[in-house]
Amino acid sequence: MRTARTRADAAGATGLVAGPRATPATAPVDAPALAPRVEDALESVRLLLVDDVTRRRARARELAVEHASLWRAVGEQLGAGRLMRPRLTVAAYLGLGGTDVAAVAPVAAAQEMLHTAMLVHDDVLDHDETRRGRPNVTGTARQRLAARGVAGPRAEDPVLAAGLLGGDLAIAAAFDLVVSAPVPAETRLRVIQGLARAVDTTVAGELLDVTGALHGPTAVDALRVAELKTSVYSCCTPLAAGALLAGADDGVLGVLDRFGTAFGVAFQLLDDEDGVFGDPAVTGKSVLSDLREGKRTELLRLAYLRADAAQRAVLDAGVGRPGLTEADAAGIRAAIEDSGALAEARLVRADAVRTARTTAAEGLPDGLARYLSALVDEVAGVAA
């Protein structure tokens, strides 16, 4: 799999500059012992997130009722998934010899808080007011306003503000969580720098994503967007945070960065496939919104490159049309699959998965390599 970022680019993206390191307390954990230890630590992360949001809501009530309502909506969206990003932080920390769960838990929780912020803002950009079948932050704001008799154009600015400010709250809370971690100040600063660089890099990816519709389907480098928008904040930064707390050297950080880049690309390719071919009851993701938006994915790029005249006509007639029906979408799916684009996109994903697995096996302790490889297979692997 080709990857656009060099090692120097990666260091700039994740904030991995030279600096003091902690010293790992023990040797790396072996494979059988790591998985249950990660699960135990994640339970501590879950409890910390609940306590943290409760504390923030209590403080918010002292400031303004609306502020407390916004924190409630953000909290309801927090930790709804598999906690993949905290899982990566905890796995890297424990797999590289870290032992203090109290030290890693706030840093792992920060990764989930940042992820929530990105989801809240992403929903604003996509004009979505539900997530996994439930009202999201903006949807909750609209319901709350409607209960007060505020609807129509009068509701639009407050609803938009809820999405923007709710995401901002979660970003600030992510940094606050890292600051609270009982680790050396130099380590905290490096983790904070990585988090800040992750936000900056993700913004670059989001900009490329939202402006992609201004260009033709074959003109957008969707894999580059995946690296910037998904790999850095979802994989590379969480892994680096755990590794820094465990005292990893720059060589290990580089391996984790390469692994995270490949993992993130594979994850995004699967997410794009689910956005067209998935089961919404399983994925919680619409199979119409990406097509209605005309989202510039690698799957769509390959479809346009491979389509014959008849298939291209189907794509042109439906992709990017807000009123796209399920029947129209079925025709587009058939065109994508018959063109060979779906099979090719899966090959690209399989290559990314292989790259991630090989990188881990060749550069990380065996226990951590096996754990991360199994996670890649579970989250982004290609079905046989």
CATH classification at residue 165: 1.10.600.10
Q: Does 226 share its domain with 279?
A: yes
Whether 156 and 200 map to the same domain: the answer is: no
Residue 84 makes CB contacts below 8 A (sequence gap 6+) with: 234, 375, 379
pLDDT digits (tens, 9 = 90+) for 239-248: 999 999 999 9
Is the same domain home to 170 and 238? no
Same domain for 12 and 66?
no
Question: Which of 127, 153, 182 represents a domain boundary (last residue)?
Answer: 182
CB atoms within 10 A of CB 35: 17
* Other CB atoms within 10 Å distance of the CB of residue 359: 23
Q: Which domain holds residue 51?
A: 26-182
Least confident of 162-176, 246-260, 280-294: 280-294
Are 175 and 196 members of one domain?
no
Return mean pLDDT, the chain.
91
Task: Give the tens place of pLDDT for each residue, 147-164.
Answer: 999 999 999 999 999 999
CA distance 193 to 177: 14
Last residue of some domain: 163, 182, 201? 182
Q: Are residues 357 and 328 in the same domain?
A: yes
With both helix axes pointing from N to C terminus, report the angle between 153-180 and 101-126 in degrees, rounded to the nearest 10.
160
Q: Do residue 176 and residue 189 come from a single domain?
A: no
**pLDDT tens for residues 60-80?**
999 999 999 999 999 998 977
- Structural domain ending residue among the three candidates 155, 182, 209: 182
Q: Taking residues 359-372, report their average pLDDT.
A: 97
Half-sphere exposure (Cβ direction) of 87: Cα atoms closer than 13 Å: 17
Examine the domain organization and report whether 162 and 212 are in the same domain.
no
Cβ–Cβ < 8 Å for 184, 190: no
Residues 48 and 135 in one domain: yes
Same domain, 227 and 316: yes
Q: How many structural domains comprise the chain?
A: 2
DSSP per-residue codes, 196-230: HHHHHHHHHHHHHHHTGGGS-TTSS-HHHHHIIII
User: Does one domain contain both 353 and 261?
Assistant: yes
In this prediction the pTM is 0.90
Q: Are residues 188 and 306 in the same domain?
A: yes
